[in-house]
């Protein structure tokens, strides 16, 4: 009898896969901020590979249960950002999403290879598939324009200061609204088709690449 039951294996695969999703996303935010002149994220340990520095317990729980979630917000001091503040906010905010899509595409190519070669390594197949899917999920989910998600900051980077002030003033209410939308399945109904379309698009590109190379 194996020491690891199927449930424990599934939990471990999911937990490790999430690290390949959350850590790059948060480091991308922190590194973009650092390159633009703000060392706040770096000083707070957000350029670290240590997952404990990036995990938001509620966001991770939402990921596991509802398959939609978030990580701990990266601290940014906009007063330290060099150049145009709005451009800086846009770059920092979108860095995590772009990183997720890049990772998703790379793992989609790996997953396509495993499928084309008919890999019999079930755990490996599942791990690669989950990294691909969760990266797309986090990327798409973070484009929802509600705090604390990146989409809100991307949108605010185009807005006047008085609008930013109002959003920041009532930010805690947006947090609550987002949680309710996730809990009730509203978010899932809206973005699940988008996620699956992107996953299938990346995977199909991967299949075409490997069929061309291997045939």
Beta strands in the chain (DSSP E): none
φ/ψ of 81, rounded to 5, equals: -70, 130
- Alpha carbons within 13 A on the beta-carbon side of 163: 9
* Spatial CB neighbours of 122, under 8 Å, sequence gap ≥ 6: none
One pLDDT digit (tens) per residue for the chain, 215 residues: 345 556 778 888 888 998 999 999 999 999 999 999 999 999 998 999 888 888 888 777 777 777 666 778 889 999 999 999 999 999 999 999 999 999 999 999 999 999 999 878 888 999 999 999 999 999 999 999 988 899 999 999 999 888 888 888 888 888 888 888 888 889 889 999 999 999 999 999 999 999 999 86
* Spatial CB neighbours of 129, under 8 Å, sequence gap ≥ 6: 111
Report the candidate in 98, 67, 96 with the shortest Cα–Cα distance to residue 192: 67
Torsion angle (degrees, nearest 10) of CA 100, 147, 14, 184: -130
Report the candidate in 149, 194, 176, 188 with the shortest Cα–Cα distance to residue 65: 188
Q: Structure pTM?
A: 0.90
- Distance, in Å, from the CA atom of 59 to the CA atom of 47, rounded to the nearest integer, reads 19
Q: Is 50 left (phi over 0), alpha (psi -120 to 50) or beta?
A: beta
- Distance, in Å, from the CA atom of 207 to the CA atom of 152, rounded to the nearest integer, reads 35
- Distance, in Å, from the CA atom of 215 to the CA atom of 202, rounded to the nearest integer, reads 20
The answer to whether 136 and 63 have CB atoms below 8 angstroms apart is: no
105-141 residue pLDDT tens: 999 999 999 999 987 888 899 999 999 999 999 999 9
């Amino acid at each position: 009898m194996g020491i690891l039951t199927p449930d424990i294996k599934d939990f471990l695969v999911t937990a490790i896969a999430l690290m390949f999703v959350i850590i790059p996303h948060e480091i991308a935010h922190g590194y973009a901020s650092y390159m633009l002149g703000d060392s706040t994220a770096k000083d707070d340990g957000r350029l670290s590979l240590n997952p404990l520095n990036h995990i938001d317990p509620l966001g991770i729980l939402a990921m596991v249960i509802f398959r939609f979630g978030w990580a701990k917000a990266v601290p940014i001091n906009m007063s330290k950002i060099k150049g145009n503040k709005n451009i800086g906010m846009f770059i920092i905010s979108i860095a995590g999403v772009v990183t997720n899509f890049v990772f998703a595409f790379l793992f989609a190519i790996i997953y396509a290879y495993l499928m084309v070669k008919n890999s019999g390594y079930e755990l490996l197949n599942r791990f690669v598939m989950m990294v691909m899917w969760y990266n797309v999920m986090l990327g798409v989910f973070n484009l929802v324009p509600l705090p604390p998600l990146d989409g809100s900051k991307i949108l605010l980077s185009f807005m006047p200061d008085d609008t930013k002030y109002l959003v920041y003033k009532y930010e805690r209410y947006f947090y609550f609204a987002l949680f309710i939308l996730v809990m009730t399945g509203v978010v899932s109904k809206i973005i699940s088709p988008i996620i699956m379309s992107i996953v299938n698009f990346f995977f199909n590109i991967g299949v075409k690449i490997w069929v061309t190379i291997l045939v």
